[in-house]
Amino acid sequence: MTRRTLLALTSLLALAACGGEEQAVATLATPVIVEPAQVGDLVEQIEGTGELAAPDRALIAAEVDGRVTDVLVDEGARVQSGSVLLTIDPEKRKLDADSARAQSRDADAAYEVAQREYERAKALHDQGIASDSVLDLRGTELSRAQARRDSAAAARGVAEKLLRDASVRAPFAGLVAKREISRGDYVRPGQQLLEVVALDPIEVEFAVAERDTARVAVGQPVSVSVEPYPGERFAGEVHAISPVIDPRTRTMRVKARIPNADGRLRPGLFARTDLGVAKRSNVVLVPAEAVLQRADGEVLFIVGPDDRAKRVVVKTGVQREGRIEIVEGVSGEDQVVIAGQAGLVDGAAVTRRQQAPAPNNPPGASIARDAAAAGSAR
């Protein structure tokens, strides 16, 4: 028999001798706070963190050399797909294109003449009037005219493309994120001019733990929150899933798109994500603080009508908003100990205490006062 047990028995005998048997039992009972298990619906979600990014981002460079003659947008401007952003000496390019078109027309005319001469020579040759050498000569001239016509047509195409490239256009609808040049600057092919980003929809990229990868699929809804708009959630949908697991972090990369017509969401913002997985009904939920980690697994205590604690090994599931799912071990009618259970053993007598109402009066303080009162009563 342990020293603690001897002291307890001695106290009991002393109190019983004074006629305080019921008081002794009450004194040895452990004060606890009890709450009934709840049964309700549970939306299972996978939480994560990530960053907002522009799904389309273009660094627009010059394709022709020349002086910038006009800049039609500034940073932050909203642009439509195909709209002109700036021009690079379009007058010179127009003159070059006009010259190339004229040369192409001249080559076409020369080809037509050569083709008529060849057909005439062929007709005479068939009648026995024109010699073979004349027919060969006309054939060679036609081939040369064909080559000159093709070359002129190609030169015309290049000149017309340079004319189009002299007007720099937006590749998609979005916003001008950066402008690198001003009117009057001389630019060369490859020099960066503007940066355009698409923000509607915007994209969130986040990581999912390896254990949850099998539960993620394209088309699943995702809820996103960002620091500039506390308490507000933005709904989106998964559209891309990485086919590989990162070997360093053991996570999988997931991308979702979020409508952003008002442009409030911006690339680079830190984002918290909730990925909806499943909704289940009639789930048993208890406060997370009720579950203890022990050598034989996760346990909690329930209190029966006889005010005695029963130790139960449970199997838990999803934890959400301070409550944890109990898959096995507890029913919706059980009274669960949520505070004061640290020193409890199976079958111990307990006294039920109410949750302290004041925020600055935590349940632990209430239990401490009850225990102190019990000690002073002894």
| Residue 80 pLDDT > 80 | yes
> What pLDDT score was predicted for residue 88?
95
Kindly report the number of other CB atoms within 10 A of residue 321's CB atom: 6
Q: What is the pLDDT of residues 144-159, one digit of tens each?
A: 999 999 999 999 999 9
Poorest-pLDDT segment among 32-46, 49-63, 190-204: 32-46
> What pLDDT score was predicted for residue 371?
35
CA distance 371 to 356: 15
> What pLDDT score was predicted for residue 27?
52
CA distance 365 to 373: 12
Q: What is the pLDDT of residues 256-287, one digit of tens each?
A: 999 998 888 988 999 999 887 767 788 899 99
> Mean of the pLDDT values across residues 9-27?
46
Report strand pairing: 234-246 vs 297-303.
unpaired
pLDDT band at 214 (very low <50, low <70, confident <90, very high): confident
| Residue 105 pLDDT > 60 | yes
AA identity, residue 331: S
Q: Does domain 57-85+169-198 fall into CATH 3.30.1300.10? A: no
Which one has a higher pLDDT value, 242 or 365?
A: 242
Dihedral Cα 75, 78, 81, 83, nearest 10 deg? -70
> What pLDDT score was predicted for residue 369?
33
CA distance 325 to 342: 21
What are the sequence ranges of the domains in the chain? 30-41+281-377, 46-55+202-277, 57-85+169-198, 90-165
CATH of domain 30-41+281-377: 2.40.420.20
Which one has a higher pLDDT value, 26 or 119?
A: 119
CA distance 18 to 150: 123
| Residue 373 pLDDT > 50 | no
Q: Does domain 46-55+202-277 fall into CATH 3.40.50.720? A: no
SS3 234: strand
* Helix runs in 288-346, H state only: none
Q: What is the chain's length?
A: 378
Which one has a higher pLDDT value, 132 or 355?
A: 132
First to last CA, the chain: 22
CA distance 44 to 276: 6
| Model pTM above 0.75 | no
> What pLDDT score was predicted for residue 48?
85
Q: What is the pLDDT of residues 294-339, one digit of tens each?
A: 888 899 999 988 989 999 999 988 777 788 888 888 888 888 999 9
**59-92: burial string, b at 16+ Cβ within 10 Å, e else:** ebebbbebebeebebeeeeebeeeeebbbbbbeb
> What pLDDT score was predicted for residue 355?
65
